[in-house]
Amino acid sequence: MANVLDLKRRIRSVKNTRQITKAMKMVSAAKLRRAQERAVAARPYAQMMASVIRSLMRRIDIYNPKTGEVRHQLLMPREEKNVLLIVVSGDKGFAGAFNSNIIKAAQRFIATENGERGLNVDIETIGRKARDLFRRRYRAAQITRDAEAGDQKPAEELEGMSLDSELEEKPLVRKRGERSAAIEVTGDHPGMLEKLRFDAVAEIGQDIVDRYISGEIDAAYMVFNEFRSVISQRVVVERLVPLAEPPGEHEVAQAEEPSIEERERAGEAALSAGVSLQEPDTHEADEEAQKFGTADVDYIYEQPPEEMLRSLLPRFVATQLYRGMLESVASEHAARMTAMDSASNNASEMIDSLTLTMNRVRQAAITKEIIEIVSGAAAL
């Protein structure tokens, strides 16, 4: 049996762990509050964008009456042969099943698309956790930068310019038929979620649109944690391009709901961390945003509606992506808060049981000593 000193040491170590998990929980709670605010603050823009697109689409024919062609490729679904999956995971662990749920959902998606339907899947990861896993599992795509990048440039010309500015501007190009495996990782963006900026997301959005239009991919999906409230997050797979009909509707291809126990657990954690479960009331703002560009009047269009639509649609993809990432960040903090609350509770339980054992051991030692003394005295 362990002696009192060992047990004391263990209790102290568990106490230290509890202190850390408690601190992490409070930090996550604070970050969650901020992330939640950001996610809510970002809503009006996305909604206004969606409603103005819808209104424009009502006013112009999507199909060109003369040629019968769709005016914008982003609105026209086509047969899927190559699909892109964007996996939004977290950068760090200690968030319970947050990352593994995302990865599981992504793998299931890949299994159905690649295994059952026989499609090629490109993977693009956002967040370190997904990158680490998919990098190990699948091959990285061979991507060259721009057609011209292959040209041999004279050495003196290369020397004159800074290398990274050159790389930045050349668009990524992968020629058709260059695929070396059915499933490939085409890119990753670790550390992006830490300081999420719209312009960085917009670049990814533009890249997706470019790839869709050039025919490299036929659809793009995003798997992320949807944040509905502090106690309810779910993993969803959403289609980014081609755009859903009507735009702004979230086309969910796959979703996983949290169980009731998980919700209860999250509710308790939120309560003890002082995070309000009350959703901020955005109903009025939502309604307001939905009216954007849809007033019942004849608008004067400064530019032809088709042209407006052409520049709005690609940006809308970025907005959707941004929303997904903001929600994922909020979900991550919520998941970490719940996980750390559980860890703190478990540590407390462990301390209780260790203290009990320690007291028993101490009592046993005392009893043993008394018996020794008493029997020693009796033997005299």
Partner 1 sequence: MADQTQDGKLQVRLVTPDRELVDTAADAVELPGRTGYLEVLYGAAPLLTELGTGLVTIHGGGEGNDRYYVAWGFAEVLPNRVTILAESAEKPEQIDASAAQREYERGQKMWDQAREDPAQYERANELMHDAQARMDAKGGNQ
Residue 378 binds partner 1 (CB under 8 A): no
CA distance 318 to 209: 9
Looking at this protein, which amino acid is placed at residue 324? G
If one asks whether residue 344 binds partner 1 (CB under 8 A), the answer comes out as no
Minimum distance of partner 1 from residue 65's CB (angstroms): 22
Which stretch, 259-267, 274-282, 291-299, 337-345, contacts partner 1 (CB under 8 A)? 291-299
The answer to whether residues 240 and 320 touch, using CB atoms and an 8 Å cutoff, is yes
52 makes contact with partner 1 (CB under 8 A): yes
- Within residues 146-205, the interface with partner 1 by CB under 8 A covers 148, 161, 165, 169, 198-199, 202
Q: Pick one of 3, 64, 303, 353: the residue that binds partner 1 (CB under 8 A).
A: 303
x-or-dash pattern for partner 1, window 98-137, by CB under 8 A? ----------------------------------------
Q: Which is nearer to partner 1, 269 or 326 (CB)?
A: 326
Minimum Å distance from CB 211 to partner 1? 15
Could you give the C-alpha distances from 65 to 53, 72, 174, 183, 246, in angstroms and in order? Answer: 20, 14, 35, 40, 20
- 88 binding partner 1? (CB under 8 A): no
Tell me how crowded residue 201 is: count the other CB atoms within 10 A of its CB. Answer: 23
Q: Between 144 and 345, whose beta carbon lies closer to partner 1? A: 144
Distance CA 304, CA 270 (A): 50
Q: What is the dihedral of CA 303, 309, 312, 314, to 10 degrees?
A: -140
Closer by beta carbon to partner 1, 106 or else 208: 208
HEC string of 222-267 equals: EEEEEEEECCEEEEEEEEEECCCCCECECCEEEEECCCHHHHHHHH
State the sign of the Cα–Cα–Cα–Cα dihedral 208, 211, 213, 217.
negative
Choose one: 93-101, 121-129, 181-189, 299-307; the region binding partner 1 (CB under 8 A).
Answer: 299-307
Q: Name residue, tokens 């993993």.
A: 235
Piece of the chain touching partner 1 by CB under 8 A; list 7-15, 287-295, 328-336, 365-373: 287-295
Of the candidate spans 47-55, 69-77, 80-88, 338-346, the one that interacts with partner 1 by CB under 8 A turns out to be 47-55
Q: Which stretch binds partner 1 (CB under 8 A): 2-10, 42-50, 62-70, 261-269?
A: 42-50
Nearest approach, Cβ of residue 58 and partner 1 (Å): 13
| Choice from 3, 12, 78, 299 touching partner 1 (CB under 8 A) | 299
**Taking the CA of residue 282 as centre, how many other CA atoms within 13 Å lie in the half-sphere pointing to its CB?**
16
How many Å apart are CA 313 and CA 323, to the nearest integer? 15
- The correct pick among 11, 48, 83, 330 for binding partner 1 (CB under 8 A) is 48
**Does 300 contact partner 1 by CB under 8 A?**
yes
When binding is defined by CB under 8 A, the residue of 42, 85, 103, 183 that contacts partner 1 is 42
- Cα 211 to Cα 203: distance, rounded to the nearest angstrom: 12
Q: Contact at 8 Å (CB) between 196 and 308?
A: no
The strand pairing partners of 249, in sequence order, are: 247
Name the DSSP letter for residue 148. G
CA distance 99 to 159: 43
Q: How far is the CB of 210 from partner 1 (least distance, A)?
A: 10
Question: Taking the complex as a whole, how short is the minimal distance between the CB of residue 324 and partner 1, in angstroms?
Answer: 13
- Looking at 83-91, 265-273, 297-305, 332-340, which segment touches partner 1 (CB under 8 A)? 297-305
Q: Measured between alpha carbons, how far is 227 from 331 in angstroms, rounded to an integer?
A: 5
DSSP β-ladder status, 144-145 and 232-241:
unpaired
Residue from 315, 348, 361, 362 that binds partner 1 (CB under 8 A)?
A: 315
Dist. CA 57–CA 34, nearest whole Å: 35
Residue ranges that bind partner 1, judged by CB under 8 A: 38, 41-42, 44-46, 48-49, 52, 56, 148, 161, 165, 169, 198-199, 202, 292-293, 295, 297-303, 307-308, 311-312, 315, 319, 322
